[in-house]
Chains A and B, each alone.
Chain A
Amino acid sequence: MVLRLISVVILAVIVARVCNFVYVSGFHKPIYKQYPGPCRLVPGVDRGSEDITVSSEGLAFISSGLSSPRFVHDPQRHAEGVKGRILLFDYSHPEKNTTELSIVGNFSNNHFDPHGISLYQNPVTGETRLFVVNHLPDFKDSVEIFRFMEKEKSLYHLKTCQGEHMYSLNDVLAVGPESFYFTNDMFFTQGILRILELYAGMAWGGVGLYDVTDKILLQGMMFANGINMSPDGRLVYVAEFVRNTVNIYKRVPEDNSLIIQKVIYTYTSVDNIEVDKKTGDIWLGCHPALYTTIKHMENTTKPAASQVLRLRLSSNSDPYDKAELRQFFMDGGELISASSVASMYNDAMLIGSVTDRMVYCEIKTI
């Protein structure tokens, strides 16, 4: 009798988990085409543009060539031997498209597999530093810190940051010359256990802080993904990919700890978060039909749906009192598959993807 009751409860939990994952996968969602203005592909970027970050002068840095088996399961891509790169795009001259930044210093390009990136511009010295999540062989992760040499169009490697709490890195957010927040998307870094963690809906992802040493600040997240900060540095935004939320945290300046303020449900799988420095608007690269993205990761020739949302927090006394979600881009994979990031500068936008192309759009609609 007790055994039967336990069996029924376990079965109910399993059924609930399966149903929730089916729901999150987005089978029920129609995908219509929607562009905010004229859109075009950026030539030369066709093996991913997973994260984009833009400086205050309109220089956009793009990480390209993500091929870690943790995310990309297409054997064709692995056989191809995609090379990790950091590309540069100038919003002031979009017709010039991208140039590849050479990497100099004591750093081996053979193990460069870039994922999330973040820019730190020192207001005093004017130095620009690029922080890059790097997936090393054997499923080890690091954050590489580079100095951007604008004249030479190169990245000078300064430091490799590793730590026992930096085990499943996805994105990074720089808050100082050598300090940053990072997201661990899951607990297991590889293999069948990682797949089980994802499909079982376990909430073992988290956010950590690196500042001389690394520590975990937040846990209990379902696939912590993109992370970013408000222009005044007061709020930190974290995307929970599988829970379909953007979490808003208040940042405590004394010790950089984070206090949850609000959870915004987006009804889509939010990947990376970009913040418009001028307006504070939050731009989300999303996967509106997650099942198409999962298929796409197994075979990158299959199209996956792409979506860009803008999250605007009300500017009342509590800036997060009201939240408006507006859709600016949607595509079934004809133009771009599995969008992961949208970077906005003035009236233009770059949309990056995990393993696919990159799109440049002028924004005409409001």
Chain B
Amino acid sequence: MDSHCVEWRRALVVCTAGIEKRKCNRLSFFKVVYKQHPGFCRTVPGVEKGSEDVTVASNGLAFISSELNGKKETVDPSRMPPNIRGKIFLFDFNHPENDVIELPLKGDFDRDSFYPHGISLYEDDKTDEKRLFVVNHRARGDECIEIFRFEEKIKSLIHLKTIRGDNIYSVNDVVAVGPDSFYYTNDGYFVMSEFFKRVELFADVAWTNVGFYDGNTDKIVQSGLQYANGINVSPEGRYLYVSSVIRGFIYVFEIRNDNSIEEKQRINVYSGVDNIEIDKKTGDLWLGCNAVLYQFVQHVGNVTIPAPSLVLKVRLGSKSAPYDNVDIQQVFMDDGSLLKGSSVASYYDNKMLVGTVLDKLGFCEIKHL
């Protein structure tokens, strides 16, 4: 009866503290976690300190950012420099038994201040060039987007460009729409002050935004979001999807000819959504979620504390927004025994990689969708 008593007291406290009810609901105090695996699942050896973002190329090569700089948040010291060294891993969905290899980073580039977060892949249809865009948290207040070219033969990333800007100050994720252009999310307004970051998070203010870099200048194209996190674009390039972790929303924006965006819809997925991946074939959204946010907050402070992982697939019912039918399907749920604190799910050919913020990388076969 221990669990029951705890839950009962929790329910009572929340019911009688009206203003806190919203807050506690937002942190998912009442969320329930049952195990659910879509097939055989395992962790991928070699990825131990985070796999925050994963992106997969059309040929099944997946790129994984690893060892996110914990200094951006209040994090377990084992996930802060000098205990981490940012990496980009490569995983081949066509040969999952080969697991991952680390991609060397080459070029005129400061390797020792590389701490990757969100990533995005741009594949040029004409030249077949693959460019990887990486959010880099060099230090608190020093953020940039690194652009690499992927050299497949030598399995390396050649650094091309470092992009900084006045409006690039708290970047979480990035989506490339051209060889030198991308949309990105700033997930917070306060950058330097830890105290005000916490206040901003819990005070439920909507001061985060989406920015666009066109190759020369950066600008904010949408403000008023609350904890903007994952960002991705529909396969035909018409819609931009942005996740809000605390609200549990997916914002749907239409991209205009001048690269500005207009909000079309908000999809409530009732879970703390982190990164968004798009299945290029179907247009489905694959969401890495923090199923129980308060346990994730605990996990960030001590990575040995388990935090549940959740993967949702969102099928949009029509060709254009606002979508008249949105189908949300649960693909994966784990109580933290296999994966702690999932942040991304990347699907390819009935297989799936599930990444985490500070934990391992999961690989699943999907027997049924």
**Chain A interface residues (CB < 8 Å from chain B):** 15-16, 18-20, 22-23, 28-30, 32-38, 243-245, 263, 265, 267-268, 309, 324-328, 330, 364-366
Other than the given A23-B11, A34-B329, A37-B367, 8 more pairs (CB < 8 A) read A28-B25, A30-B271, A37-B368, A268-B32, A327-B34, A366-B37, A366-B39, A366-B40
B368 touches A30 (CB 8 A): no
Closest B residue to A244 by beta carbon equals B4
A22 in complex: contacting residue of B15, B37, B38, B331, CB < 8 Å: B15
B8 within 8 A of A: yes
Partner of B368 from the list A23, A36, A263, A327 (CB cut-off 8 Å) is A36
Task: Say if the beta carbon of B152 comes within 8 Å of chain A.
Answer: no
- Inter-chain contacts of A35 with B (CB < 8 A): 368
> What are 19 contact pairs spanning A and B, CB under 8 A?
A18-B15, A20-B8, A22-B15, A28-B31, A32-B329, A33-B328, A34-B329, A34-B330, A245-B4, A265-B1, A265-B3, A265-B7, A324-B35, A327-B36, A328-B36, A364-B367, A365-B37, A365-B367, A365-B368
| B62 contacts partner chain A, Cβ-Cβ < 8 Å | no
Q: Interface centre among B34, B40, B333, by most A CB within 10 Å?
A: B34
Q: Which B residues touch A325, using CB under 8 A?
A: 34-35
- Establish whether residues B328 and A19, one from each chain, have CB atoms under 8 Å apart when the complex forms: no
- Residues from chain B with Cβ under 8 Å of A15 in the complex: 15-16
B368 contacts which chain A residues (CB < 8 A)? 35-38, 364-365
User: What separation, in Å, do the CA atoms of A42 and B4 have in the docked complex?
Assistant: 37
Whole-angstrom distance from the CB of A266 to the nearest CB of chain B?
A: 9
Q: Is B327 an interface residue when CB atoms closer than 8 A count as contact?
A: yes
A286, B11: Cα distance in complex, Å: 21
B36 touches A364 (CB 8 A): no
Partner of A20, one of B12, B36, B327, B331: B12
Q: Does B30 lie within 8 Å of A28, measured CB to CB?
A: yes
Whether the pair A326, B36 counts as a contact (CB closer than 8 A) is yes
Interface residue? B312 (CB, 8 A)? yes
Smallest beta-carbon distance B17→chain A, Å: 11
Interface size bracket, B side = 20 to 34
Complex Cα distance, B32 from A326, in Å, reads 11
How distant is the Cα of A100 from the Cα of B14 in the complex, in angstroms? 50
Complex alpha-carbon distance, A135 and B197, angstroms: 61
Return chain B residues, CB-CB under 8 Å to A327. 34-36, 333
For residue B35, which residues in chain A have a CB less than 8 angstroms away from its CB? 324-327
Q: Tell me whether A365 and B15 are in contact in the complex, defined as CB-CB below 8 angstroms, given that A33-B329, A37-B368 are known contacts.
A: no
Q: Please, which residues of chain B bring their CB within 8 A of the CB of A324?
A: 35
Cross-chain pair count, CB within 8 angstroms: 84
How would you classify the secondary structure of chain B's contact residues: helix, strand, loop or mixed? Answer: mixed
Are A364 and B328 neighbours in the complex by a CB distance under 8 Å? no
- Nearest B residue to A265 by beta-carbon distance? B3
By a CB distance below 8 angstroms, the chain A residues around B1 are: 263, 265
CB <8 Å contact, A365 and B4: no
A309 touches B34 (CB 8 A): yes
Q: Is the CB of A265 within 8 A of B367?
A: no
Q: How far is the CA of A328 from the CA of B34 in the complex (A)?
A: 9
Min CB distance, B247 to chain A, in Å?
Answer: 13
Given the known inter-chain contacts A33-B328, A325-B34, A326-B35, please indicate yes or no for A265 contacting B25, CB distance below 8 A: no
How long is the Cα–Cα vector from A23 to B7 in the complex, in angstroms?
A: 9
Task: Output the nearest chain A residue to B34 by Cβ-Cβ distance.
Answer: A327
User: Could you tell me if A32 and B330 are in contact, using CB atoms closer than 8 angstroms?
Assistant: yes
User: B15 → chain A, closest Cβ, in Å?
Assistant: 4
- CB–CB A267/B15 < 8 A: no
Give complex CA distance A366, B40 in Å: 7
What are the interface flags for B24-68 relative to A under an 8 Å C-beta threshold, 1 for contact and 0 otherwise? 010000111011111110000000000000000000000000000
B189 is an interface residue with CB less than 8 A from chain A:
no
* Pairs A-B, 3 closest by C-beta atoms: A30-B270, A19-B15, A32-B330
A213 to chain B, nearest CB (A): 33
Least CB distance from A220 to B in Å reads 13
User: A residues within 8 A CB of B16?
Assistant: 15, 19
Collect the chain A residues with CB atoms within 8 Å of residue B11's CB. Answer: 19-20, 22-23
User: Distance in Å from the Cβ of A364 to the closest Cβ of chain B?
Assistant: 4
- Complex Cα spacing A268 to B145, Å: 45
Contact among B4, B34, B38, B40 with A326 in the assembled complex (CB-CB below 8 Å): B34
Q: In the docked arrangement, what's the CA distance between A169 and B12, Å?
A: 32
Distance of A326 Cα from B34 Cα, bound (Å): 5
Q: Which residue of A lies closest to B269 (CB)?
A: A30
CA distance A19 to B328 in the complex (A): 29
Residues of B within 8 A of A29 (CB): 30-32
Give the residue name and chain of the A residue nearest to B312 (CB): A32
Which of chain A's residues have a CB closer than 8 A to the CB of B333? 327
- Bound CA–CA A361/B32 (angstroms): 24
- In the bound complex, residues from chain A placing their C-beta under 8 Å from that of B329 are 32-34
